[in-house]
Amino acid sequence: MVIGSSPNLSGLKYIALILPLLFTVIYFYHHRPAILAEESTRLRLLPHEPNDFWVEFFARLEAARPHSPPLTFKEKVDALNWVPDFDRARPEIWKPNPKEVSDLSKSHAAFIKTLPEFARHLPYDADTTGIVTTAGKGNFGQVITLLVMTRQSGSKLPIQIVIDSSSVWIDNLCANLVPHYNAACIYLEDIWAHLNPHPPKFDRFQWKFLAMVTSTFQNILFLDADIIIANNPDKIFAPGAEPFQSTGFIAWPDFWVPSGSKYFYQIAGSIPVPQLTDRASSESGMIVLDKARHADTLLLASYYNYHGPTHYMAILSQHGPGEGDKETFLQAAYVLQELAKRPVEHGGYRPPMEWTKLPSAQGQKKGFYDVKKMPKAHGRSANGKWRGMFMKQMDPVEDWRALQQAAKEAKHPAPIDTHSPFLFDSSWLSTVGNLTLKQDQKKMMFFHHNGVKPDFSDVVNSKTGLVEMDEKTGKLLRLWGDPKWIIETTGKDLEKILWLSTMEVWCRLDEDEFDDVCGRMSEIYEAVYAEK
């Protein structure tokens, strides 16, 4: 629906101001679908039955548990912005003794040894593609925004939401609202109910790898729940589209200099320690991964995450900015690429190649691609203060095009041919830091809204930053500022669409506790976005 402009009631100024808001609230209140407050039957999507895989999954992760004690160092790395000519030495905060390194190396090698067989067991439905996210009690409001704005972008990809914690309200939405967006909720607690031993309790930032492993999609676009899609991402997976065609794995950069310990690369098999000029640290809010080509990558990332709180998260970041799962995925891909360059008898790794037999594998290669365009922070200035809103992240198809064009113009050596026609030598990507890429700045694909969370159930809370008033004029301010740049970047007033589309959903939820949310969103929309 479209909310029209205020009616012209000459001489009744107050009524003219209040009637549009009143009509808006009344309309939404009386046009609610049956999203019931009563407890509903949980919609169960059980993708992997029976649970043989999960038994194997946790058994293998436990069998390779590090024997060394959990890391306890307290010093942390400074937050330094990455630039291509960064010339400082890699930080050395963690100073392990030789026994720690030896113990971690042995358990890591033991897990690597299982991967060729283990990777063959990773379940997925062949030739399927979709978006995956994870959410629960603390952030399901963000998922509502993700669902709405994904469809507003024009994306047709199905969506799977892996639930990390539930409630009656979430169950109701999963049963009655979520399917309207070609989406489904997956309850791991149901899938794991009969596992013996029962899986351990996971921290919030560990659910990403679990969601990716759980998903039935072969080709995954994982998105954090606080992502807003600015431009349709479906083209990432179009036939022949690069860089997905040549790699099957795409990662995005963070602002920071990588801060992983040099000892990680010794633990991982004495592989080369990357130069800090090679690439920025990773931002794991968006990940593209083909579970067929990168089953082993995902399982190794799972190993780093499973043992992350005790060991690998600190090793890979040394308490640097954003420590968590952010480095585990790209580093897993890098480790396996480097180990695959050696003979097995010399500590090398032979990756499983069953994926090459799939019909969809024609012309595909396995590697990794890290987007070269650095993220750009966007915020809002109000009353003399600046507040960060989100990170703008580049369309990877455009980034690849710009990189290839820059390499061609500079006559930069192409990637080295490998012995296998199915492998892309991603080490070439560490040699392009001196190239000047000319990406189309209008082709930003994701707004990672990690500054102010896009959960509109919080719109009634003035401290969340969703709403700000100019103290001089008394007027409410737009969330993203001047709409000109929004229209230039996305071709439309995406912020206005964000408010209107999410308002329609919140005003249709048959929950008394959200009546204030509907009223407040309607009030803000009328004051800030409605045509006058």
By DSSP bridging, strand 227-229 and strand 249-253 are unpaired
pLDDT of residue 368: 97
- Of the chain, the percentage scoring pLDDT greater than 70 comes to 90
Mean pLDDT of 432-453: 93
Output phi, psi for 82, to 5 deg: -85, 140
Longest dimension (CA), the chain: 90
Q: Assess whether pLDDT exceeds 90 at residue 476.
A: yes
Tell me which of 97-106, 113-122, 442-451, 505-514 is least confident: 505-514
Question: 3-state DSSP call for residue 81?
Answer: strand
Question: What residues have CB less than 8 Å from 499, skipping those under 6 apart?
Answer: 479, 521, 524, 525, 528, 529
Q: With the C-alpha atoms ordered 492, 498, 499, 504, is the resulting torsion angle positive or negative?
A: positive
Mean pLDDT of 152-169: 96
Mean pLDDT of 127-142: 97
Q: Assess whether pLDDT exceeds 60 at residue 370.
A: yes
Output phi, psi for 403, to 5 deg: -65, -45
Output phi, psi for 226, to 5 deg: -95, 20
User: Quick count: other Cβ atoms within 10 Å of Cβ 451?
Assistant: 16
Q: Assess whether pLDDT exceeds 90 at residue 418.
A: no
* HSE value, Cβ hemisphere, 13 Å, CA-based, for 95: 4
Question: What residues have CB less than 8 Å from 296, skipping those under 6 apart?
Answer: 115, 116, 118, 119, 336, 351, 352
Question: What residues have CB less than 8 Å from 310, skipping those under 6 apart?
Answer: 66, 70, 71
By DSSP bridging, strand 183-187 and strand 217-223 are unpaired
Of residues 433 and 378, which shows the higher confidence score? Answer: 378
Distance CA 452, CA 462 (A): 12
Mean pLDDT of 309-325: 96
pLDDT of residue 298: 99
Of residues 7 and 389, which shows the higher confidence score? Answer: 389
Q: Assess whether pLDDT exceeds 70 at residue 22.
A: no
Output phi, psi for 379, to 5 deg: -145, -175
End-to-end CA distance of the chain: 17
- Of the chain, the percentage scoring pLDDT greater than 90 comes to 77
C-beta of residue 329 within 8 angstroms of C-beta of residue 282 = yes
C-beta of residue 254 within 8 angstroms of C-beta of residue 326 = yes
pLDDT of residue 143: 98
Question: What residues have CB less than 8 Å from 513, skipping those under 6 apart?
Answer: none
Q: Which residues pair with 129 in a beta bridge?
A: 219
Distance CA 268, CA 252 (A): 23
The DSSP output letter for 342 is S
Of residues 189 and 15, which shows the higher confidence score? Answer: 189
| pLDDT band at 230; cut points 50, 70, 90 | very high
Mean pLDDT of 355-361: 92
| pLDDT band at 182; cut points 50, 70, 90 | very high
Mean model confidence pLDDT for the chain? 89
Q: Assess whether pLDDT exceeds 60 at residue 337.
A: yes
pLDDT of residue 513: 74
pLDDT of residue 303: 99
Of residues 515 and 156, which shows the higher confidence score? Answer: 156
Q: Assess whether pLDDT exceeds 70 at residue 168.
A: yes
pLDDT in tens, 68-123: 999 999 999 999 999 988 878 999 999 999 999 999 999 999 999 999 999 999 99
Mean pLDDT of 154-162: 98
Of residues 238 and 189, which shows the higher confidence score? Answer: 238
pLDDT in tens, 28-81: 444 444 444 444 445 455 554 547 899 999 999 999 999 999 999 999 999 999
Domains of the chain by range and CATH? 13-31+456-528 (no CATH), 52-352 (3.90.550)
Mean pLDDT of 176-181: 97
